[in-house]
């Protein structure tokens, strides 16, 4: 029963298939017509050899279309497609032979025209074997996939190099506006073979490389003007027309092309920004050196960083350049400070919140903090010391008080969160004052105030015409920055200079004197270098007379002379000549002693002048030897030349006059004052280590705070202890300090 049902079902299917092939015609006439149509269709579709010179059979296209129609009505198109694809696979060796021949030619001469010819030949093969459109898109898609799969499988790696050369040539011609009509044909051939899709990354890289070379050529070292606008115009005028070929193929109007190129255009624009950003990052150190002439490059860099976000690379590049070219012993401190100020200004333009500056500046700030003359250079710039180099402050910048760190005010309507790349220690600064940023290198401004006092003392003592307007103006400006309380001592110093002139005028009115001393308040001035020098003869008489008149005018005060400081104008009357000289006091003291006798030894002069330094004495005598007032008859023995003598054979060469006229008065620096004061605290330290044994630095620091007037930091104490260790006074092991043996 079941087998009968199966036989009946098979018979029904067979009859249905027969009727479909026979198309319900009488007998087998329909089946014969299908057989003829099948044979014609298969013969027409069979791939042919393009290299076969035999005449090709001509087909009546109407009959071919009719045959395709018959096969389609019989639902045999899928089978016909399989037969066609199988025939094509059997003929693929013809394409392989062509590819090998052309690639052998290209690899032998590297001429990209061989690749062009190969592409055109592959298009010929593709078009020759391509089924007609009457068979529908499915048949054509299957053929295209099979054809391309085979072609891509037999193309060697060197084919990509040839494609790159061909595409590069089209870009060069487009940029130079000398387009070859064959370029459009070439791009159409690429599209036909789907080479654009397969090598899209390679084609884009050609554009990227050309952009990189153009940016390097046109923008390197050119910082005065922004270059981004020029680069964008160049991209639109030169690169975009070339991009239409591979990336907007098939577009029928400008809007459609713009839509198709939106994604790839954004990538090309990004790469242009990235290339310029890389270039400016590589040049950032020199851009900062050239500021403000490099403002254009900084504006470009700011815009590029907003687009490509290479902030970390910029920080790393600038820190590396600073360490290599700036932060080393060969660089002058004022040059480092000047570059640091330019860095502050430049990075505030590039990154207003200050994150980049915070990350870049830390090594520079630590290096400057360790340099002993940093404070002095900063202070010299603040008071306009022309000898200390260019000012760190722009004269057009407003003078502002030193800014102190502020707590975050979250209720401020203009408050913004910190940038995403800000570290945990970063605190946004609202201050644009460069001096506040520089002073913040140190934990306290007291060091600057003390150095200001030293430098002001030197400048005041160096004034000869009695005009202190410049110093007074500087003090007023510094009051704004540091506050009036911090500059009270400077006010006293200025007042002392004015009072000194008034006192001198009064003394001169009572008893005319050729001496015009500067009288200062010892407790308010920085320590001056001391000396045991004693002025002899008429100089001592002048001092005593002046002191008497002063005590009458100021009975509650006593003068303590510093005779080694100042200048003396002398008129020397010798037997055959009269000389005028402006010399330091030691030279004046020595020539005064020669009025007592004509010949002196160096040791005698040193003893009579108060045991001054022997080297200083020799230099002082060399001044008079150079002026032909003294002569060194033998080593250490000098004679007064009342009458000029010419050089004698065998005489000793004359020493050069030391250049001391432009030197600042010998006011002790802050470091020297601190060293002297720390010697006082050494007794406390010695007592601690004697009574308590080995102690860590922190414990010594905490105990020293009980000593009167001790205000040193633990870093300063550590430096002093290191100096004491070098002298053998103490030893250190594992952070513990003990007295040396």
Residue where one domain finishes, among candidates 98, 120, 155 = 155
Task: Decide if 516 is inside a domain.
Answer: yes
Residues 500 and 606 in one domain: no
Tell me the C-alpha distance between 366 and 177, whole Å.
Answer: 56
Which among 507, 504, 479 is positioned nearest to 491, based on CA atoms? 479
593, 699: one domain: no
pLDDT score of 662 more than 50: no
Tell me: do 15 and 146 sit in the same domain: yes
Identify whether 676 is part of a domain.
yes
Q: Are residues 606 and 688 in the same domain?
A: no
CA 720 to chain centre: 36
The CA distance from 383 to 61, in Å, is: 100
Q: Are residues 149 and 21 in the same domain?
A: yes
Residues 119 and 30 in one domain: yes
Residue pair 80/71 in contact by the 8 Å Cβ criterion: yes
Sequence-ordered list of residues with C-beta below 8 angstroms from that of 507, at least 6 positions apart, any chain: 513, 546, 549, 550, 553
* Residue 13 pLDDT: 60
Give the Cβ contact number of residue 423 at 10 Å.
10
Tokens for 737? Answer: 């300090």
| pLDDT average, residue stretch 571-581 | 85
- Pairing between strand 599-601 and 568-573? unpaired
Q: Confidence band (pLDDT; 50, 70, 90) for 207?
A: very high
Q: Which residue has the higher pLDDT, 276 or 3?
A: 276
The domain that holds 721 is classified in CATH as 1.10.10.10
Q: Are residues 55 and 78 in the same domain?
A: yes
Kindly indicate the confidence band of residue 387, based on its pLDDT and cuts at 50, 70 and 90.
very low
Q: Helix (H, G, I), strand (E, B), or coil: what is residue 46?
A: coil
Q: How confident is the model at residue 650 (pLDDT cuts 50, 70, 90)?
A: very low
Helical ranges in 371-482 per DSSP H: 374-382, 434-439, 446-462, 469-482
Contacts of 481 (CB under 8 A, 6+ apart): 382, 399, 400, 401, 402, 435
Query: Which tokens is 509 given?
Result: 């009115």
List the domain range (segments joined by +) for residue 596.
527-646
CA–CA gap between residue 90 and residue 151 (Å, rounded): 14
When pLDDT is averaged across residues 383-393 and rounded to a whole number, the result is 56
Task: Please indicate, yes or no, if residue 209 is contained in any of the structural domains.
Answer: no
- Name the least confident of 153-162, 510-519, 668-677: 668-677
Residue with tokens 């990227």, as numbered in its chain: 208
- For residue 162, tell me if it sits in a domain: no
Is residue 125 a part of any domain in this protein? yes
Q: Give the separation between CA 482 and CA 280, rounded to whole angstroms.
A: 38
Assess whether pLDDT exceeds 90 at residue 276: yes
pLDDT tier at 705, thresholds 50, 70, 90 = confident
Radius of gyration of the chain (CA): 48
Quick: pLDDT tens for 492-502: 888 888 888 88
The residues, any chain, with a CB within 8 Å of residue 179's CB and separated by 6 or more, are 173
Give phi and psi for 733, each to the nearest 5: -150, 125
Q: Tell which of 506, 525, 544 closes a domain.
A: 525
Q: Which of 613, 646, 679 marks a domain boundary?
A: 646
The pLDDT score that the predictor gives to residue 297 is: 93
Tell me the percentage of the chain whose pLDDT exceeds 70: 83
Q: List Cβ neighbours of 11 (8 Å cut-off, separation of 6 or more).
A: none
Q: Is residue 262 one of the residues assigned to a domain?
A: no
Range from 396-400, 471-475, 568-572 that averages highest in pLDDT: 568-572
Any domain includes 724: yes
Query: What confidence category does residue 396 fall into, taking pLDDT thresholds of 50, 70 and 90?
Result: low
pLDDT at 651: 43
For residue 388, pLDDT beyond 50: no
What is the pLDDT confidence band of residue 62, given thresholds at 50, 70 and 90?
A: confident
Q: What is the pLDDT of residue 571?
A: 86
Total Cβ atoms within 10 A of residue 510: 12
Q: Is position 326 within any domain?
A: no
Beta-carbon neighbour count of residue 277 at 10 Å?
A: 24
As a whole number of angstroms, the distance between CA 585 and CA 604 comes to 17
> Higher-confidence residue: 29 or 31?
31
Same domain, 570 and 615: yes
**Shared domain check, 89 and 37:** yes
User: Averaged over 550-565, what is the pLDDT?
Assistant: 83
Look at residue 397 in the predicted model and tell me its pLDDT. 61
- The answer on 125 and 23 residing in a single domain is yes
In a 10 Å sphere around its CB, with 0-12 CB exposed, 13-18 middle and 19+ buried, how is residue 572 labelled?
A: middle
> Looking at residues 528-542, what average pLDDT do you find?
82
Q: What CATH number is attached to the domain comprising 606?
A: 3.30.230.130
Same domain, 111 and 136: yes
- Alpha helices (H) in 227-354, listed in sequence order: 228-234, 240-247, 254-260, 262-282, 284-289, 295-308, 311-325, 333-350
Helix segments in 515-601, DSSP class H: 537-553, 585-593
Please give the average per-residue pLDDT across 662-667, as a whole number. 52
CA distances from 214 to 221, 242, 276, 297, 621 (A): 13, 15, 10, 16, 69
Query: What is the full DSSP assignment across 120-187?
Result: HHHHHHHHHHPPPGGG-HHHHHHHHHHHHHHHHHH--THHHHHHHHHHHHHHHHHHTT---HHHHHHH
Annotate 397-413 with b (16+ C-beta within 10 A) or e (fewer): eeeeebbeeeeeeeeee
- Smallest CA-to-CA distance from 550 within 561, 534, 539 is with 561
The DSSP secondary-structure symbol of 403 reads P
| Per-residue tokens: 214 | 């153009």
Q: pLDDT by residue (tens digit) across 118-132?
A: 999 999 999 988 888
pLDDT band at 202 (very low <50, low <70, confident <90, very high): very high
Which band of pLDDT confidence, cut at 50, 70 and 90, is reported for residue 26? low
Stretch 234-249: mean pLDDT: 87
3-state secondary structure of 475: helix
* Domain total of the chain: 4
Residue 193 has pLDDT above 60, yes or no: yes
Residue 542 and residue 599 in contact, taking contact as beta carbons nearer than 8 Å:
no
Instruction: Give 458's pLDDT tier (boundaries 50, 70, 90).
Output: confident
Mean pLDDT of the chain: 80
302-356: pLDDT as tens digits: 999 989 988 889 999 999 999 999 888 888 888 888 898 899 889 889 988 888 8
Distances in Å between the alpha carbon of 106 and those of 110, 121, 155? Answer: 5, 14, 12
Query: Do residues 510 and 532 both lie within one domain?
Result: no
User: Is the per-residue pLDDT at 549 higher than 80?
Assistant: yes
């Amino acid at each position: 029963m079941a087998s009968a049902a199966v036989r009946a079902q098979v018979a029904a299917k067979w009859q249905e298939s027969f009727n479909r092939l026979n198309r319900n015609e009488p007998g087998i006439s329909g089946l014969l017509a299908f057989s003829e149509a099948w044979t014609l269709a298969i013969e027409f579709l069979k791939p042919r050899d393009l290299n076969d010179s035999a005449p090709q059979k001509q087909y009546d296209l109407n009959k071919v279309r009719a045959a395709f129609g018959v096969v389609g009505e019989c639902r045999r198109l899928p089978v016909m497609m399989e037969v066609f694809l199988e025939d094509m696979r059997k003929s693929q060796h013809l394409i392989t032979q062509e590819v090998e021949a052309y690639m052998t030619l290209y690899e032998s001469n590297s001429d990209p025209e061989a690749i062009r010819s190969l592409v055109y030949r592959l298009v010929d093969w593709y078009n020759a074997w391509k089924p007609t459109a009457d068979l529908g898109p499915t048949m054509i898609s299957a053929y295209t996939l099979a054809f391309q799969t085979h072609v891509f499988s037999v193309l060697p790696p060197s084919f990509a190099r040839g494609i790159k050369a061909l595409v590069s040539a089209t870009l060069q011609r487009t940029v130079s506006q000398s387009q070859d009509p064959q370029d459009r044909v070439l791009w159409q051939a690429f599209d036909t073979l789907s080479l654009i899709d397969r090598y899209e990354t390679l084609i884009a890289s050609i554009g990227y490389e050309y952009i990189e070379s153009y940016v390097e050529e046109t923008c390197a070292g050119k910082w005065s003007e922004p270059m981004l606008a020029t680069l964008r115009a160049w991209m639109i005028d030169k690169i975009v027309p070339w991009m239409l070929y591979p990336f907007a193929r098939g577009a029928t109007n400008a809007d459609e092309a713009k839509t198709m190129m939106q994604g790839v255009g954004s990538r090309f624009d990004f790469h242009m920004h990235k290339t310029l950003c890389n270039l400016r990052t590589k040049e950032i150190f020199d851009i900062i050196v050239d500021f403000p002439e490099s403002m254009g490059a900084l504006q470009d860099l700011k815009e590029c960083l907003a687009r490509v976000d290479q902030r970390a690379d910029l920080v790393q590049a600038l820190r590396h350049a600073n360490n290599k070219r700036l932060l080393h012993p060969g660089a002058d401190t004022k040059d480092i400070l000047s570059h640091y100020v330019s860095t502050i200004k430049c990075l505030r333009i590039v990154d207003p919140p200050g994150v980049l500056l915070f990350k870049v500046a830390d090594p520079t700030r630590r290096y400057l903090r360790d340099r002993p003359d940093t404070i002095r250079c900063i202070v010299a710039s603040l008071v306009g010391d022309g000898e200390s180099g260019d000012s760190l402050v722009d004269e057009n910048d407003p003078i502002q008080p030193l800014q102190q760190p502020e707590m975050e005010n979250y209720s401020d309507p203009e408050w913004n969160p910190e940038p995403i790349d800000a570290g945990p220690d970063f605190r946004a600064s609202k201050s644009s004052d460069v001096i506040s940023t520089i002073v913040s290198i140190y934990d306290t401004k007291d060091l600057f105030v003390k150095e200001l006092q030293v430098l002001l003392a030197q400048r005041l003592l160096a004034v000869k015409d009695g005009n202190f307007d410049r110093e007074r103006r500087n003090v007023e400006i510094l009051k704004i920055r540091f506050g009036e309380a911090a500059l009270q001592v400077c006010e006293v110093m200025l007042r002392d200079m004015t009072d000194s002139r008034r006192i001198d005028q009064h003394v001169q009115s009572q008893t005319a004197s050729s001496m015009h001393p500067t009288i200062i308040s010892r407790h308010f001035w920085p320590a001056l270098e001391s000396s045991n020098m004693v002025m002899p003869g008429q100089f001592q008489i002048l001092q005593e007379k002046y002191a008497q008149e002063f005590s009458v005018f100021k009975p509650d005060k006593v003068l303590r002379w510093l005779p080694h400081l100042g200048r003396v104008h002398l008129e020397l009357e010798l037997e055959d000549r009269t000389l005028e000289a402006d010399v330091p006091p030691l030279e004046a003291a020595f020539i005064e002693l020669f009025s007592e006798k004509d010949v002196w030894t160096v040791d005698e002069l040193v003893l009579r002048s108060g045991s001054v330094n022997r080297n200083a004495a020799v230099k002082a005598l060399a001044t008079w030897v150079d002026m032909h007032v003294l002569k060194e008859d033998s080593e250490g023995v000098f004679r007064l030349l009342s009458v000029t003598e010419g050089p004698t054979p065998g005489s000793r060469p004359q020493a050069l006059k030391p250049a001391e006229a432009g030197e600042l008065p010998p006011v002790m620096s802050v470091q020297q004052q601190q060293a002297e004061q720390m010697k006082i605290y050494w007794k406390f330290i010695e007592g601690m280590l004697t009574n308590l044994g080995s102690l860590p630095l922190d414990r010594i620091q905490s105990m020293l705070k009980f000593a009167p007037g001790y205000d040193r930091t633990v870093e300063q104490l550590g430096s002093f202890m290191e100096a004491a260790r070098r002298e053998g006074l103490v030893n250190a092991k594992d952070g513990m300090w003990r007295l040396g043996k």
